[in-house]
């Protein structure tokens, strides 16, 4: 009887040892770094998110609060605040850091660049997501890709006849499209156009001069609805987010011109002065999981092409299989930053001239 009681006590103690203070089983498959982040996040209790309509905006934040807590056994409260564009947010984070204040957001979502990457923590995400390729991290591991967007031309499928769908950038300059093209002037995203094998440094300026003369107005990312409504028939260079509208039945589609297209990785980063860095780690680790990638696809129409079972990888490969060159914007920027910089200055001057007319 005594032996039986001792055996029961030992069994209970063994089970208790296999469960952490947060109620997780020790064989939950989480890495030691991830478990440490879970414990730290439970102490923090909160996650600040300040951005626009990324990942479903406020509705997406509520859904992710539930999903992250469910996956990691946490009890985090996500506090979502609509914010400015991510480049503007980087400026705010820099000001807060210079003043010795905590960042007003725990996460940065889209526009990490060589100029602002130093604001973010260096993290080897393979210690949280085993098997993730190192190439999915950028800027000395300060940013990690959770979505790959493909840039090209978005057009209205109801109003543009199939035989008139642009095959080349030059097709947007046809007289019948006068005033019907929405233009986004950027060299950072389309630096590949300035490469000698594409349009060349001067050729891209000449092209934009003609395109602005053809344009019906300047657009920014998130303007694809103005194409689906028929206000514009085309949007170039688009931001790769029109696919989500198409998934919900909007009359838009994307075409990659023969000159080539570009992929751009949306990088998540954690400010060095983030008030809740462990909660932020869990948020990003979830996005990089298979369930998280499915969530990213549902809310953005994209996922990371470098992660397993990526839908975007198949889409990008389908263009490459047809002989269309798809450039990586980060690779172009890092390979020839002076080319991109000079192109950006020229395009900025061209845009100012256009605005003053």
Chain centroid offset of residue 69 CA: 22
What digits encode the pLDDT tens for the residues 204-243? 888 988 998 999 888 888 788 999 999 999 999 888 888 9
Q: What is the pLDDT of residues 33-92, one digit of tens each?
A: 999 999 999 999 999 999 888 899 999 999 999 999 999 999 999 999 998 888 889 999
Q: What is the pTM of this model?
A: 0.85
HSE-CB at 35 with a 13 A cutoff on CA atoms is 14
Q: Which two tokens stand for residue 321?
A: 């299989």
% of residues, the chain, pLDDT over 70: 89
Structural domains of the chain in order of their starting residue, each with its CATH number: 29-149+265-312 (3.40.190.10), 152-263+327-356 (3.40.190.10)
The full DSSP string for 63-106 is HHHHHHHHHHT---EEEEEE---HHHHHHHHHHHHHTT---S-S
The three-state DSSP-derived secondary structure of 204-230 is HHHHHHHHHHHEEEECCCCCHHHHHCC
Question: 10 Å Cβ neighbour count for 256?
Answer: 23
Which pLDDT tens digit goes with each residue over 164-218?
Answer: 999 999 999 999 999 999 988 775 667 788 888 888 888 888 898 899 899 988 8
Distance of CA 47 to the CA centre of its chain: 19
Higher pLDDT: 264 or 36? It is 36
Share the mean pLDDT of the chain: 88
Task: Give the mean model confidence (pLDDT) for residues 100-114.
Answer: 92
């Amino acid at each position: 009887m005594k032996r039986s009681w001792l055996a029961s006590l030992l069994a209970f103690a063994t089970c208790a040892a296999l469960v952490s203070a947060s109620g997780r089983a020790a064989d939950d498959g989480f890495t030691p770094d991830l478990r440490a982040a879970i414990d730290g996040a439970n102490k923090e209790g909160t996650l600040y998110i300040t951005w626009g309509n990324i990942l479903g905006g406020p509705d997406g934040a509520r859904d992710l609060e539930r999903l992250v807590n469910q996956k990691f056994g946490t009890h985090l409260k996500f506090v979502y605040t609509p914010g400015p564009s991510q480049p503007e947010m980087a400026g705010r984070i820099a000001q807060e850091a210079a003043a010795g204040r905590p960042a007003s957001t725990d996460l940065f979502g889209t526009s990490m660049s060589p100029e602002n990457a130093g604001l973010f923590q260096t993290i080897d995400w393979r210690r949280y997501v085993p098997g993730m390729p190192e190439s999915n991290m950028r800027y000395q591991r300060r940013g990690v890709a959770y979505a790959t967007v493909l840039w090209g031309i978005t057009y209205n499928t109801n109003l543009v006849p199939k035989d008139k769908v642009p095959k080349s950038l030059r097709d947007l300059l046809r007289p019948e499209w006068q005033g019907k093209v929405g233009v986004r002037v950027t060299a950072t995203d389309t630096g590949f156009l300035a490469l000698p094998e594409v349009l060349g440094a001067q050729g891209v300026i000449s092209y934009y001069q003609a395109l602005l003369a053809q344009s019906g107005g300047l657009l920014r990312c998130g303007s694809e609805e103005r194409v689906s409504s028929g206000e514009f028939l085309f949007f170039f260079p688009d931001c790769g987010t029109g696919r989500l509208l198409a998934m919900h039945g909007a009359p838009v589609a994307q075409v990659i011109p023969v000159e080539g297209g570009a992929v751009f990785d949306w990088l998540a980063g954690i400010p060095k002065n983030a008030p809740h860095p462990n909660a932020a780690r869990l948020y990003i680790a979830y996005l990089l999981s298979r369930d998280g990638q499915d969530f990213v696809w549902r809310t953005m129409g994209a996922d990371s092409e470098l992660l397993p079972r990526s839908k975007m990888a198949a889409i990008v490969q389908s263009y490459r299989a047809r002989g269309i060159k798809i450039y990586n914007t980060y690779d172009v920027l890092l390979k020839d930053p002076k080319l991109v910089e000079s192109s950006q200055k020229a395009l900025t001057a061209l845009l100012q001239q256009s605005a003053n007319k």
